[in-house]
Structure 1
Amino acid sequence: MVMIDMVDVIEDEDRYERLLRRAKTEDLSEVSGIGCLYQSGVDRQGRPVVVFVGKWFPATKINLDKVRLKFLGPL
């Protein structure tokens, strides 16, 4: 049982690393230009504080995979 959990964790980490690499290399300007996602500052540990304005999010008119990558990658 514990071995299965470790395999799941390793697979999740691998998937996250792949997505993070894509987020850093793909053109996400389509997502940047919609105005619903922006960095408002940093927290006490220097991590970005991100604001998402749902009413400005055009869910039916945008590539949701690219939105996910935008959340993972640099703002």
Structure 2
Amino acid sequence: MSLIKDPDERRLEQWEKTVQAQRGWNFANFLGFGDLGGPPLSAAEEYSLHSRYLSKAKSLNLSEIAEMKIVYRGGVDSEGRPVMVVVGAHFLLRCLDLERFVLYVLKEFEPIIQKPYTIVYFHSAASLQ
């Protein structure tokens, strides 16, 4: 019997502890959306909600969010998949209407979500303020 744990077992234990700790964490509340908890949506309800938000996103002029260059299409990767670029430093919470931002992201991702794509996230100079 070895006194040293297998690194894979140790990582699995750490992952399980993290998941258990986050079960009580309400990310939606943290982001200011209130309590979005409740029963999970059925596939039909999820599709209906997605369709309503996509329709709303397409009807709005979201150019001021596009100009912030928080999320934009960056070409294709080496395998020909579309690349979406996310720049954390451009995400200025105090200057941003979160609902409009979510609608913009939905609108930008809609054309590419049916096939594999790549997301590149730049975190340098990002701030929580």
* TM-score bucket of the superposed structures, by smaller chain: 0.7 to 0.9
Question: Which whole-Å CA distance do the structure 1 matches of 2:105 and 2:62 have between them?
Answer: 10
Unaligned stretches of 5+ in structure 1?
A: none
State yes or no: 1:33 paired with 2:67. yes
Match for 1:63: what amino acid? Answer: D
With a CA cutoff of 8 Å and minimum separation of 6, indicate the structure with the bigger relative contact order: 1
> Given the two structures, how large is their TM-score scaled by the length of structure 1?
0.74
Residue 58 of structure 2, aligned match among 24, 31, 54: 24
**Superposed displacement of residue 42, structure 1:** 4.0
State yes or no: 1:68 paired with 2:102. yes
Q: Give the 3-state SS of the residue equivalent to 1:73 in structure 2.
A: helix
**May I ask how many residue pairs the two structures share in their alignment?**
70
Percent identity between the aligned chains? 30
**Bigger-Rg structure (1/2):** 2
Q: CA RMSD in A?
A: 2.5
Unaligned stretches of 5+ in structure 2?
A: 1-39, 110-129
Answer yes or no: is the 8 Å Cα contact 1:24–1:74 preserved in 2.
no
